[in-house]
Structures are given as structure tokens and as C-alpha cells.
Structure 1
Amino acid sequence: MSENGVVVRPATVADLNGIVACSSALFAEDAGTHDLTLNLNWPAEHGLTRFSKALSDPDRLMLVADDGGRIVGHLTGTLFGPTTMRPVVVATLGSIYVRPTYRGRKVGVNLVEEFRAWARHHGAQYAGVTAYAGNEAAVRFYERNGFSMRSVVLETSL
């Protein structure tokens, strides 16, 4: 158990509804304000199927932050490589969300630490994450947790 009573652990089938709820909140809070091209209903429409498949995929990670049986956060990760172009294993942090009332209590830090440990255990030499440039709080969080800018994606409307 952590110092704040929230346990970070691998997700189980019993956690799927909580993960979908956290993913829905993430889409509404983050993508909903930073990316008008995303289907904000994706978690409700497709999340259960996608997250269910991820639980049995050895190259995917599904973590939850559990406060006495209530899922208050989640993290997803994926392993890629090696490939002939990039002959190393890279772990990508796909999504992370912590409910607002739990922020500032090291829940996100604990999720990222578990992700990094999982990535190292599976032979990853690098870890990456994508954040919206407009989400300055997320960028600061990732920088505090050891990530630094490596590339920039630029888009334009057509």
C-alpha cells in the first residue's frame, strides 16, 4: 500500500468498468479541450473491448490506482520493437488519468514508476509519451517524471 492509501496494481477484468470510466473522464478533460477531431464517446463505445484485449496481451500494460475497491486512476502502456529501423525496444505510455481529487498525492508518480519498472523488466531501453502541447500541466508532470521533448508533431486543418 502506498503512503496515501491508494494501491497501484495490474488491472484485472473486475477493473474494466473503472478503467472505462477513467478513460471517459480523460477524453472529456484532455482531448475534449485539445483535439476536436477525436470521438469523445470512444471510451464508452469501444473501451471495454479494447481494454479487455489488452489484459491478455503480453506487450500491453494496464495499471489501476485502487482506493479501497474504487478505481481512481489508470495507466496503459505498450511495448514496440525492435525493428530493423529502430533496433531497440521502446515502451510507450499510452494514457494516464488520475481523478482530480487524488491529484497531488503521488498517485500519478506511482503509476509512472510502475510503468517504468514494467518497461525495464521487458527489456525496453527507452520510454515515450505523447501529450497535447496545450496541456501544460501534463507536459510539466511528464518532465518532472524524467521525460523530455524529443520530437514535435505539427498539424494543420485542411
Structure 2
Amino acid sequence: MSETVVVVRPATVADLEGVVACSSALFAEDAGARDLTVNVNWPTERGLAQFRDALSDPHRLVMVAADDGEIIGHLTGRLSGPTPMRPVVVATLGSIYVRPAHRGQKTGAALVEEFRAWARHHGAEYAGVTAYASNEAAVRFYERNGFAIRSVVLETAL
């Protein structure tokens, strides 16, 4: 019996259905459980167009993790800056998801490393990511992958 190898690579148009499915699972699992203001249907309503547009934008990234051709994870990112206030290029990791059956196998770490390489290649000096404070597993994952808490956002309902 041969063991399959997870391949991490830039997404193509053919991958977008799998990216939308992963994004939908992420919204249901994370934002849907932690933020009542998030439209958990966003991936199915608008994700396909957003991810398709990102594929042709050099300042945006869509990566996939594929196991024997099946999309089992994704990562999105974007570049911003420099600006007069922050005169550096910053890469922001927008979303990352790995299907539960494939977690604990370094797939997420491989996606993050490819994101970091893409960011460095495009001149980014810093990378950032936002996670829900209540998602302790995500915070630990990001810390294991070199991110550190640098700021805190506080919110209140009005």
C-alpha cells in the first residue's frame, strides 16, 4: 500500500470548488461559533468570485493542500503597503483551514511556510494574522509557526 503525500501549491481555477468548501467549513467551525456578526454563508454566496479574482491579483495568494487530488486545506493571503504611516510591505494571512481528518500532520505548517516564502519573495518585511481570542488552538498553532501576539482588538456590541 502506498502512502499519499499532501502537496501544497498555488490554487488554480480547477481548485476553487474545493477552496470554497474548505472556506465554508472554516466559517462554520470558527467564525460561526465565535462571531454572531459574520455571515457564515459568505463562502457560498461570494467566495467563488473573490477567490477567482485573487488568482489573477499579484498582491493576493490562494494556496491549496491536496491529498491525491482532493483539496483538504487552503490558505489565503494578501500584501499591503507601504504607506506613509507604516512604510513597509506587510503580508496578511487571511484564512487557513485544514480538514479535521488531516490535522496534526504538518499540513497547516506547510501552508504557512509557503505563505511566508511568497511574502518574502514579494518584499514583505512582516506578516500578520488575526485569530479569535477564544480559538486557543488557532492561537497556539500560529505561535508554533512564528507569530506572536502584538496587539489586541477589543469590541463591544452597541
**1:123 maps to 2:123:** yes
CA distance in 2, matches of 1:116, 1:4: 25
Per-residue CA deviations over 1:49-95 (Å, capped at 9, x if unaligned) read 00000000000011000111100000000000001111000000000
Question: Which residue of the partner structure matches residue 32 of structure 2?
Answer: 32
Letter in 2 for 1:155: E
Preserved CA contact (<8 Å) 1:4 1:105: no
Q: For residue 95 of structure 1, what is the amino acid of its counterpart?
A: S
1:17 is aligned to 17
Aligned to 1:72: 72
Equivalent pairs, count: 156
- CA drift of 1:4 comes to 6.3
Distance 1:4 1:65 in 2: 12
The runs of 5 or more residues in structure 1 that have no matched partner are none
**How far apart in 1 are the matches of 2:45 and 2:33?**
20
Q: Give CA deviations for 1:67-125 in whole Å, capped at 9, x if unaligned.
A: 11100000000000001111000000000000000000000000000000000010000
2:96 corresponds in structure 1 to: 96
Distance in 1 between the 2:48 and 2:14 partners? 11
- Matched residue, 2:5: 5
CA contact (8 A) 2:4 2:67 kept: no
Structure 2 counterpart SS, 1:62:
strand
CA distance in 2, matches of 1:32, 1:42: 11
Structure 2 counterpart of 1:128, one-letter code: G
2:132 aligned with 1:151, yes or no?
A: no
4+ residue segments displaced more than 6 Å: none
How far 1:36 sits from its partner (Å)?
A: 0.7
| In structure 2, C-alpha distance between the alignment counterparts of 1:52 and 1:120, rounded to whole Å | 23
CA-atom RMSD in angstroms: 0.9
Q: Aligned partners of 2:39, 2:113: CA distance in 1, in Å?
A: 30
Q: What secondary structure sits across from 2:133 in the alignment? A: coil
How far apart, CA to CA, are the structure 2 residues paired with 1:121 and 1:41? 33
2:46 maps to amino acid: H
**Correspondence list, 1:105-144, <5 A:** 105-144=105-144
Equivalent residue letter for 2:33: T
